[in-house]
Structure 1
């Protein structure tokens, strides 16, 4: 089983690349995001997910271990999501954007991926809602807050602060990130006014 390839980029196709590892060319199917970071003739490392079937062996390559974990999560936990759809999602959304979309129950954002309709996007958001924090890296606290906001159970000062920042013209995602950072520095007892002030400082950085 191949878990990682380290070699030279020999060829880049529409949905795949060929990595030359000591004279052997491996075909790896990748997201557009991963392919966009590759250049022919340069050294690269791809994290690999190997699919073995009776009639074929196919390698899927990713620029980071986190992206590969999201691929596994999408293909292994969501009905109707195979490798092609998972790559389409990861071509459209970065791992952090996907985690944010799931935390915010943002079906519209997920359905931006080619071939992903509203029903599939809804399944992705529903099936992975409890798994997003585990793959959110350092943003776990922020993701947790966004889940609370999406479910309508966030404390009133927090929800009001996010709403106030959104009314000032910031996106909901940016506002939630800023308020999460404000909560971290001010503590859970901070009132709405303090969260707004600290949030604006975060947004000004």
Structure 2
């Protein structure tokens, strides 16, 4: 199996890149997010690779980092999520955003990805909630609080603060991250008014 390719960008397609590795051109399918990070033709690039072997074809999928590839694998464990849908999710959300959405049980955020309907989004947030923390990436610091919020186990002050911030137009991920920073500074017993004020300060900084 191919685990990594390092070479020169040869050309691009709608959802793939040809990577020239010592004279051999590998067609690698990527998410729109990964495609956007690739350099111009003729420049060096490196991709983590997931190889899918089928009876009639072999497909290579490329990712900027192992974390993104791990999410690609994990998402496909959910019924209704194949390679195409998994790539669509990774093209719409970062690994940290996926982990946060699952922790918060925020199926609407997951459903923003093309091809992901409400039922599939619901299965993703329900079935992967215990596995998301290990792949939370840049959301690691807030994932615990987000899990409490998603399970309805957070304190009333935290719930009220997050609700107030989302009512002001911030996403649930932004609001919960800001409240977590406020909690770290003000302490677990801080009232909702303090968390809202400090959370707004964090969001505006």
User: So what's the TM-score if we normalise by structure 2?
Assistant: 0.91
Cα deviation, residue 172, structure 1: 2.8
**Deviation per residue, 1:54-106 (Å, 9 max, x gap):** 3322111011211111101111x211211111111112222122122212222
Secondary structure of the corresponding residue to residue 147 of structure 2:
helix
Give 1:62's aligned residue.
63
**8 Å contact 2:101–2:173 — kept in the other structure?**
no
Distance in 2 of aligned mates of 1:24 and 1:40: 15
Give 1:154's aligned residue.
154
Determine whether 1:14 maps to 2:14: yes
Distance in 1 of aligned mates of 2:113 and 2:196: 33
RMSD: 1.7
Cα 1:35–1:138 shift into 2, 3 Å: closer
**8 Å contact 2:97–2:139 — kept in the other structure?**
no
Distance in 2 of aligned mates of 1:147 and 1:165: 18
Cα deviation, residue 14, structure 1: 0.8
Secondary structure of the corresponding residue to residue 33 of structure 1:
helix
Secondary structure of the corresponding residue to residue 158 of structure 2:
helix
- Give structure 1 stretches of 5+ with no counterpart: none
Runs of 4+ that moved beyond 6 A: none
Distance in 2 of aligned mates of 1:33 and 1:133: 22
Give 1:31's aligned residue.
31
Distance in 1 of aligned mates of 2:159 and 2:108: 21
Cα 1:170–1:56 shift into 2, 3 Å: closer
Give 2:103's aligned residue.
103
Distance in 1 of aligned mates of 2:153 and 2:145: 9
Secondary structure of the corresponding residue to residue 27 of structure 2:
strand
Secondary structure of the corresponding residue to residue 34 of structure 1:
helix
- Give structure 2 stretches of 5+ with no counterpart: none
Secondary structure of the corresponding residue to residue 36 of structure 1:
helix
1:1-205 equivalences under 5 Å are 1-38=1-38, 39-75=40-76, 77-205=77-205
Cα deviation, residue 188, structure 1: 2.1
Cα deviation, residue 120, structure 1: 1.2
Distance in 2 of aligned mates of 1:191 and 1:141: 21
